[in-house]
Amino acid sequence: MRARSLTPAIKAKRTPLIIERDYPDGAEFTCCYCEQRFISGHPRWKKTWEHLDNHRENEELSNLKWAHKYCNIKKKTFTDYQIMAREFIKKNQEWQNAFDFEEFLRERKIKQPTEEQTEIELNTAHVQKTVEFLAEKITDEEPEYPLDDAIYCITARCRKETGHGSSQASRNYIKELCCSEGLYKIEKKRGKNYIVRRNAL
Ligand SMILES: [Zn+2]
């Protein structure tokens, strides 16, 4: 029977925990046996998933570590690495007993929001920027503001503060605020579009 290898799903699930356990505080990724760094794509020095107990079907976190392809093969005949592997399993189990998995997952969720959440948050932030910009620029004394400049200013502000922003999106946010129920409207004056405050009824 051919031994199956770790699926991408299992690897994705184990990777953040391996990094947390074996490479804390941004430590460089190195081989668990020789402690030298990995060279991606290299036949000998690329990173492989090491099964410490030599059973490939054992996909438990405590049985997994990262090693060079070369060191992974060398272990089959090299007693020192076999002894190290047994020690690693023990240490990994101890680590797991002490590790707060729930807290880790909670923090990861905060740090890495899903794509969908990020998009909603960005939209909200950008609409907020648009509202602020118009309130700031369109006043009783200055009741109009050129549309094109507003689009580019709002886009620039969004990009500066959130790292995202597009003139198309800014145009849409302005249009929403200038809809027939909005506080503003767009008027053409002297051949140019202006954002104008709607007169209070
Ligand atoms: Zn190595």
DSSP line for 124-146: HHHHHHHHHHHHHH--SSS-EEE
Please give the helix or strand (H or E) that residue 148 lies within, else none.
helix 147-162
Mean pLDDT of 140-157: 92
Dihedrals phi, psi of 64, to nearest 5 degrees: -115, 140
Q: How far is the CA of 48 from the centre of ligand 1 (A)?
A: 10
Provide the whole-model pTM. Answer: 0.55
State pLDDT tens for residues 41-93: 899 999 999 999 999 999 999 999 999 999 999 999 999 999 999 999 999 99
Q: How far is the CA of 71 from the centre of ligand 1 (A)?
A: 5
Q: How far is the CA of 36 from the centre of ligand 1 (A)?
A: 6
- Which domains can be identified in the chain, with CATH numbers? 8-108 (no CATH), 119-197 (1.10.10)
Q: Over the chain, what is the mean pLDDT?
A: 88
Q: How far is the CA of 70 from the centre of ligand 1 (A)?
A: 6
Q: How far is the CA of 10 from the centre of ligand 1 (A)?
A: 23
Q: Is 65 within 8 Å of 52 (Cβ atoms)?
A: yes
Q: How far is the CA of 17 from the centre of ligand 1 (A)?
A: 20
Residue 121 Cα distances to 15, 112, 128, 157, 170, angstroms: 27, 13, 11, 16, 15
Q: How far is the CA of 55 from the centre of ligand 1 (A)?
A: 19
30 has a pLDDT exceeding 90: yes
Q: How far is the CA of 38 from the centre of ligand 1 (A)?
A: 8
Q: How confident is the model at residue 165 (pLDDT cuts 50, 70, 90)?
A: confident
Q: How far is the CA of 61 from the centre of ligand 1 (A)?
A: 20
State pLDDT tens for residues 113-144: 556 656 677 777 888 889 989 989 998 888 89
How far is the C-alpha of 35 from the C-alpha of 33, rounded, in Å? Answer: 6
Q: Which of 49, 67, 66 is nearest to 6 (CA)?
A: 49
* Residues shown for the chain: 201
Task: Kindly tell me the burial class for residue 162, based on how many C-beta atoms sit within 10 Å of its own C-beta (0-12, 13-18, 19 or more).
Answer: middle
33 has a pLDDT exceeding 90: yes
